Amino acid sequence: MTTVSRMQPTSLNETRLVFATFIFCALFHFCQYAARSAPSVMVPELSESLGLRTAAVGSLVGSYYYTYSAVSLVAGGALDRFGVRGPVSVGMLTLAVGCALFGTGLQSFTLVGRLLQGAGAAFAFTGAVYVATRNLPAAQLASAVGIAQAFGMFGGSAGQFVVARLIHGASVPWQWIWFGLAAVLCVLAVGMLLMPHGKAELAIVQSDPTDARATSGSWFDGYRTVFGNPQSWLCGLCAGLLFVPTTVGDMIWRVAFFTQGLNIGYDRAVLSASLVLFGWVIGCPLLGWISDWIGRRKPVVIVGGSILLVAEITVLYGSVGVADNLWLSLIFGIASGAAMLPYTIIKEVNPTKVAGTATGIMNLVVFATSAAVSAIVGSALARLGHAGGLHALQFREVGTVSLASVAGAIAVACFLTETGRQRGERLTAEII
């Protein structure tokens, strides 16, 4: 029988430090999502400044996911090995440099900047989940993961709605957005480095020495453990497919689909896209709480994915009035929050000592999926042509990729291991 492997805070000061560390990581996640989503509302400006067509801008924006997914693998292992302070601070500074380079408006620099943004951002959500997994009770894990992602999606919503207002309402140059974001990230990095040490930062978890999975070893042991577990791959694939309608459909192409394909006004299109991300702000903690409350993961994933599939079909093939319905956008985002539950499951099917590695591998699979789909959609739209703008039919043709992704996620969810425990079972285990 294993002992408790999570390091519960032992004093008020320690509790405050855990909370502060979690908040810094969550704010970092807010900023990285703002950087991820902001380009979707400045496509015309980027196209004009860089001399690129719409589809090429989409490919540039999507390059973020290549480094995000690749570096996530390194980020997870670094957290398990070195703790949270150093790796997360480096991630903040890397994202800051990427934002500054992107803001130069020079074509070669924007690509390098976008790649650096993805690399630095890989430490944000991974860091927040690392702190939660190492310091919170198992019964609260899904809720904590949902709250962390809610910070990110709120940043994504701000990156669309607020940035659009600044550029098109207040006539703020788009470059300034990136320089301002870089400055905020530098402040966060300094604050993170100045924080006192504590258990929240430790990279070693107390566990039963008889548990062979929890014994210490080389850097690669964690990767072997997580990669060697088939459930890890299923969790990554399920979450990755559920993310596609947001990371590719909403954050890159929804504004273009609404304005060019459906002739919806720009402001209205931006509001719709930002409401999807705001829906995540509600859905992530809500669905996490429901999952913790009922003690089950799979039903929430499957039901959420099914609602998302219906919403995606309605947006793609409904009339302009239906697709433009703001309540539909909000429901779309709330249902999408189901994508965060596989992040909880992967922690529960692997040892706690590899919590960072597990999250990093999840991000690798999730956003490698987004990168691949983004490239496929961008290439397809480029082949369809864009003389005089893209049309609704062309967007709908490539939109079937999102539908197939969600349907695939629901199918994969059926093969996930149910790691939650019903309330009665959990209370009995806690008493024992």
Chain-centroid distance, C-alpha 328: 21
- Per-residue pLDDT reduced to its tens digit, 332-351: 999 999 998 998 899 889 88
- 398 pLDDT band, cuts 50/70/90, is confident
pLDDT at 4: 37
Residue with tokens 């991820």: 36
Q: How many domains does the chain have?
A: 1
Most confident of 4-18, 88-102, 106-120, 161-175: 88-102
- Measured CA angle at 279 (ends 47, 62), to 5 deg: 30
Single-letter residue type at 295: G
Give the tokens for residue 213.
């999975």
Q: Within a domain: residue 413?
A: yes
Range of the domain at 60: 12-203+219-431
Query: Residue 7: left (phi > 0), alpha (psi -120 to 50), or beta?
Result: beta
Q: Which residue has the higher pLDDT, 212 or 152?
A: 152
Lowest mean pLDDT segment, chosen from 66-80, 242-256, 412-426: 412-426
Instruction: Please report the sign of the dihedral spanned by the C-alpha atoms of residue 53, residue 56, residue 62, residue 63.
Output: negative
| CATH number for 173 | 1.20.1250.20
CB-based contact 359:228 (threshold 8 Å): no
Q: Within a domain: residue 87?
A: yes
Q: Within a domain: residue 210?
A: no
Give the tokens for residue 329.
């956008």
- 267 pLDDT band, cuts 50/70/90, is confident
pLDDT at 425: 52
Q: Is the pLDDT of residue 359 over 70?
A: yes
- 384 pLDDT band, cuts 50/70/90, is low
pLDDT at 155: 87
Closest C-alpha to 305, from 328, 332, 276: 332
**CA–CA separation, 277 vs 156, rounded Å?**
6
**CA–CA separation, 414 vs 411, rounded Å?**
6
pLDDT at 10: 55
- DSSP-assigned letters across all residues of 56-84: HHHHHHHTHHHHHHHHHHHHHHHHHHH-S
pTM check: above 0.75: no
Q: Within a domain: residue 368?
A: yes
Q: Summarize the confidence of residues 142-171 as an average pLDDT.
A: 83
Q: Within a domain: residue 162?
A: yes
Q: Is the pLDDT of residue 386 over 60?
A: no
Most confident of 123-132, 255-264, 419-428: 123-132
Q: Is the pLDDT of residue 204 over 50?
A: no
Q: Summarize the confidence of residues 4-27 as an average pLDDT.
A: 73
**CA–CA separation, 8 vs 5, rounded Å?**
9
pLDDT exceeding 70 applies to what percent of the chain?
87
- 9 pLDDT band, cuts 50/70/90, is low
Most confident of 68-82, 176-190, 193-207, 373-387: 176-190
pLDDT at 423: 46
Q: Is the pLDDT of residue 393 over 80?
A: no
Q: Within a domain: residue 69?
A: yes
pLDDT at 210: 37
Query: Residue 295: left (phi > 0), alpha (psi -120 to 50), or beta?
Result: left
Q: Within a domain: residue 236?
A: yes
- Per-residue pLDDT reduced to its tens digit, 107-153: 889 999 999 999 999 999 889 888 887 777 766 777 788 888 888 88
How many CB atoms lie under 10 A from the CB of residue 188?
A: 21
Average pLDDT value for the chain = 82
Q: Within a domain: residue 170?
A: yes
